[in-house]
Amino acid sequence: MSKAFFGLPEQVIFCKACVISNQRPSSTVEFKHVSGEAKATISFGEDGICDACRYNQLKQGSISWEERENELLAVLDRYRRTDGRYDVIVPGSGGKDSAFTAHVLKYKYGMNPLTVTWAPHKYTEIGWKNFENWMHVGGLDNILFTPNGRLHRHLTRLAFVNLLHPFQPFIVGQRIIGPAMARRFGVQLVMYGENQAEYGNKAQENFKPTMDRKFFSAGDPRSLVLGGVTIDDIIKEGTFKIADFAPYIPPSIEELDQGGVDVHYLGYYLKWDPQECYYYAVENTGFQANSERTEGTYSKYSSIDDRIDMFHYYTTLIKFGIGRATYDAAQEIRNEKITREEGVALVRKFDQEFPRKYFGEFLDYIGLSEAEFVATVDKFRSPHLWEKVDGEWRLRHQVS
């Protein structure tokens, strides 16, 4: 068997319950080069069932959601204000999940949320429309934060070239924006939607209602790694200063403790179902699905606000053999929206589709030619996943 990149398991195994494989990373940590330290991946039991499906079985059976909701009420009562000030920060884009989170906190549980948005790289038309509806139809307050466009574009290029992970700078900002705005407005509670552990990140995180605070232990800001290089390395290029990186520098644990800021996941307290969030958002916040399916999958309503989003999923296909249709089908199988047989067919039909619609805009955004794009992508194809047949790349293993 050919050597695997990123420390991935050399033997590819697919979950017997859904369509995910053991190549799925269990964290968002990335490495500078195509080889490196071992990458933790989603775990499988002896029965061939992945951790995400195993946790979903618990969601359907042994977890008392009535007790969890009582825990939520206790948390909300602890932070609830009666003086008109905001008492919870809800980060999000106005997509189905954040729309559900903010609206249900305000109109079912009586909180006064401030929604905060880390702007997409480049809004889609439907994404901007849903963002506006979040406030105008949903009846919510919002702050849209757009980072330095020149720096964010540079970081996205670095992340693509060094890590084949063009969404890394966005993900960093998205995780920081909630706690950062909480400190600025004197709010002590931050509420995200679901924990990514539901889908295969570190399984033990499913049993904690709060975000791992280790993420916020920043240390020396100049040593932070963005796009595969340190902030100090970027500053030495002479274009940017340390002050330009303020939005990407997470608050320290000490700063969060001083402000009494806690970061929770609503999905710990309420039984999370993405499609039910979609129905709720349509009814209550004016959310609209796209008029066409997203390239690389069959879905029309998930992650549709950013023109670069589909390239994030295309790069996961290249590095891990897992494309967007796999992610969508896996969670819909777990939530009994489709059967595994249907999921397999959808993955085999759409997973390897190239995102052509915004390709030119993406190349322009990161300043690469098509030839440079192809060369970068091919560098990250692990030989245990990919082989070239008659001049065309082909996955060695596909779900069946």
Per the structure, the count of domains in the chain is: 1
Closest listed residue to residue 350, CA positions, set 386, 371, 332, 324: 324
Residue 109 within any structural domain of the chain: yes
Looking at the domain assignment, is residue 248 inside a domain?
yes
Tell me how far the alpha carbon of residue 324 is from its chain's centroid. Answer: 12
Classify residue 336: in a domain, yes or no.
Answer: no
Residue among 331, 383, 353 at smallest CA distance from 15 = 331
Per-residue pLDDT of the chain (400 residues; tens, 9 = 90+): 568 998 899 999 999 999 999 999 886 544 333 334 446 788 899 999 999 999 999 888 889 999 999 999 999 999 999 999 999 999 999 999 999 999 999 999 999 999 999 999 999 999 999 999 999 999 999 999 999 999 999 999 999 999 999 999 999 999 899 999 999 999 999 999 988 877 777 777 878 888 877 666 667 889 999 999 999 999 999 999 999 999 999 888 888 888 899 999 999 999 999 999 999 999 999 999 999 999 999 999 988 999 999 999 999 999 999 999 999 999 999 999 999 999 999 999 999 999 999 999 999 999 999 999 999 999 999 999 999 999 999 999 999 9
CA dihedral 305, 177, 174, 257 (to 10 degrees): -150
Percent helix, percent strand, percent coil in the chain, to nearest 5? 45, 10, 40
118: domain CATH number is 3.40.50
Which helix (H) or strand (E) segment holds residue 51: the answer is: helix 51-60
In the prediction, which pLDDT does 254 show? 85
Report helix, strand or coil for 18: coil
Q: What is the pLDDT of residue 37?
A: 43
In a domain, 281, yes or no: no
Q: Which domain covers residue 223, as residue numbers?
A: 65-269
Q: How far apart are CA 217 and CA 71, in angstroms?
A: 27
| pLDDT, tens digit, 9 for 90 and up, residues 30-46 | 433 333 444 678 889 99
Which pLDDT score, from 0 to 100, does residue 31 have?
Answer: 34
pLDDT digits (tens, 9 = 90+) for 57-108: 988 888 999 999 999 999 999 999 999 999 999 999 999 999 999 999 999 9
Q: What is the pLDDT of residue 258?
A: 86
Residue 278 covered by a domain: no
Residue 193: inside a domain? yes
Does residue 264 lie within any of the structural domains?
yes
Q: Is residue 44 part of a domain?
A: no
